[in-house]
């Protein structure tokens, strides 16, 4: 080991005590002098080990209700003192400051407290001062001091103490210093974002501890990482590792299915729905969702908002697909779906999702509120002489949910709460509509009596004319074009109902 240092003294002050007993006993066996305070000191004493109280070192008691315990030159001098610096050593001797070689400290659970209460006084008391200062001081002086800044590092410390017999290398100390600054920066970011939730200073500060290295990124030559805890979102019951592209599809699928309360199944490919249906019976929803585009469904991602039963699983198993996501599975259904070893089978958990979106762009980051607005029948203003029927209103709501979650420019054609076809990601709205009509005909759908949804207004009346000729009888769109009157006039002249919502749903 290079830059080897022997641990002769340690300061321990932690909130979480799990596995701490093993560490204390190892340090004691190695003859390490231990300094501690408060509840940690009591914990250590119960193990039969006699620590030196920090109060005895500093000659000051813990004051202000425990807010000030370790903030003292004899503590921080012992951590920050440079062992190869004659001036530092001289002053440490002059002021009777002992060297501290190991610091084990964690932080008050600020994020957990915020998630559990709105009591501001309780939240404020969980802002750690002494702990964060100790972490930064020990990490700064990693040349001489080893910092353990989280209970997740206890096992690593036990291994170091066992294998190194109380000695550490500069590489080990620097690695733990890096982790320590990661802990401190994450903690400060959480505190800032709590305060910034109301006053909103326009700065970008995000921090996520957990990370999963993916097989690769969007393409095999790109590296990929997911930052977050997928285990909070899903339980994986079967199949291979989830990929970068799988995650993009899962994100789109989860957002889409959240719009539907009726029993529904959606099939997605490249973040867009190629099939979706709502039915009283799940197997019927599957059959009608697949009918929307059985070609694109191959290799797709399936999401259901109902527990998947045996009947549905038998039909689904006839198709090759990458992922199925549902709130649960009947045991018999699960056995059927497990017959393909690489098929990813996930259970969706009930978690609160962020309400902000961010994307790297050029030399920075753009952010926005998520599009969480959805328009229903009462929000739809009839602008034509003919108002939509109750059945058409139901289908317009269905289509509008789909169009919100499809890549712009997009047109959705639906009937009987079934996606007949869609044109997505087109550079013109006319092309999107023509593509949707062509697909619907290719899969044998009769468009007479169907409805059309558009994610944005029609700049010209050509779309409603094409749609009317194809059989569309009701249209939902945001409205807002300077030529809205021309589209309305065409609809009035051809017995088509049209409603405006006042809300655009671009998705890029």
- State how far the Cα of 435 lies from the Cα of 67, in Å rounded to an integer: 66
Whether the CB-CB separation of 337 and 304 falls below 8 Å is answered with no
Backbone angles phi, psi at 411, to 5 degrees: -130, 135
Burial 251-260 (b: 16+ CB within 10 A, else e): ebbbbbbbbb
- The SS3 call for residue 501 is coil
What is the spatial order of strands in the sheet that 102-105 belongs to?
52-53, 33-36, 9-13, 102-105, 146-148
Nearest by Cα to 261 from 248, 244, 280, 246: 280
DSSP-assigned states of every residue in 330-384? -HHHHHHHTTSTT-EEEEE---PPPSEEEEEETTEEEEEE-------GGG-EE-S
Catalytic residue flag (residue 140): yes
- State how far the Cα of 428 lies from the Cα of 438, in Å rounded to an integer: 16
Catalytic residue flag (residue 508): no
Sign for the CA dihedral angle at 276, 435, 481, 475 comes to: negative
Q: Both tokens of residue 321?
A: 């697909």
Tell me which of 8, 17, 126, 140 is the catalytic residue.
Answer: 140
Tell me which of 126, 186, 240, 270 is the catalytic residue.
Answer: 270
What is the spatial order of strands in the sheet that 451-454 belongs to?
381-382, 497-500, 474-477, 451-454, 411-414, 419-423
Catalytic residues: 140, 270
């Amino acid at each position: 080991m290079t830059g080897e240092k022997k641990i002769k003294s340690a300061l321990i002050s932690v909130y979480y005590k799990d596995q701490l007993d093993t560490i204390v006993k190892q340090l004691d066996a190695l003859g390490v002098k231990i300094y501690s305070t408060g509840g940690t000191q009591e914990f250590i004493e119960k193990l039969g080990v006699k620590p030196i109280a920090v109060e005895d070192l500093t000659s000051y008691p813990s004051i202000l209700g425990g807010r000030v315990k370790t903030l003292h030159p004899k503590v921080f001098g012992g951590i920050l003192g440079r062992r190869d610096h004659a001036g530092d050593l001289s002053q440490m001797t002059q002021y009777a400051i002992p060297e501290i070689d190991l610091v084990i400290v964690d932080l008050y659970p600020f994020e957990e407290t915020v998630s559990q209460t709105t009591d501001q006084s309780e939240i404020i008391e969980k802002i750690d001062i002494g702990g964060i200062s100790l972490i930064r001081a020990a990490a700064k002086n990693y040349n001489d001091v080893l910092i353990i800044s989280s209970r997740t590092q206890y096992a690593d410390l036990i291994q170091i103490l066992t294998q190194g017999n109380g000695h550490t290398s500069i590489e080990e100390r620097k690695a733990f210093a890096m982790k320590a600054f990661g802990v401190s920066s994450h903690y400060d970011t959480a505190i800032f974002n709590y305060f910034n939730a109301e006053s909103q200073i326009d700065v970008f500060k995000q921090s996520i501890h957990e990370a999963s290295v993916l097989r690769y990124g969007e393409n095999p030559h790109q590296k990929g990482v997911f930052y977050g805890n997928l285990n909070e979102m899903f339980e994986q019951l079967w199949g291979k590792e989830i990929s970068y592209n799988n995650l993009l599809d899962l994100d789109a699928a989860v957002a889409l299915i959240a719009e539907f309360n009726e029993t529904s199944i959606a099939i997605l490919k490249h973040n867009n729905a190629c099939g979706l249906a709502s039915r009283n019976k799940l197997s019927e929803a599957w059959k009608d969702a697949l009918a929307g585009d059985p070609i694109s469904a191959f290799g797709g991602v399936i999401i259901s908002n109902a527990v998947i039963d045996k009947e549905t699983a038998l039909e689904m198993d006839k198709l090759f697909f990458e992922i199925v996501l549902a709130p649960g599975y009947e045991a018999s259904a699960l056995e059927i779906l497990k017959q393909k070893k690489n098929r990813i089978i996930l259970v969706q958990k009930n978690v609160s999702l962020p309400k902000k979106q961010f994307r790297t762009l050029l030399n920075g980051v753009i952010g926005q509120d998520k599009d969480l607005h959805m328009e229903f029948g009462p929000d739809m203003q009839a602008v034509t002489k003919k108002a939509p029927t109750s059945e058409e209103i139901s289908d317009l709501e269905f289509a509008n949910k789909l169009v919100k979650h499809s890549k712009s420019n997009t047109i959705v054609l639906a009937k009987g709460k079934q996606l007949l076809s869609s044109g997505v990601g087109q550079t013109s709205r006319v092309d999107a509509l023509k593509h949707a009509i062509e697909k619907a005909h290719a899969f044998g759908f009769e468009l007479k009596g169907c409805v059309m949804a558009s994610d944005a207004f029609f700049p010209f009346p050509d779309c409603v004319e094409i749609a009317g000729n194809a059989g569309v009888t009701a249209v939902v769109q945001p409205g807002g074009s300077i030529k809205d009157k021309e589209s309305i006039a065409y609809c009035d002249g051809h017995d088509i109902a049209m409603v405006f919502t006042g809300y655009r749903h671009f998705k890029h």
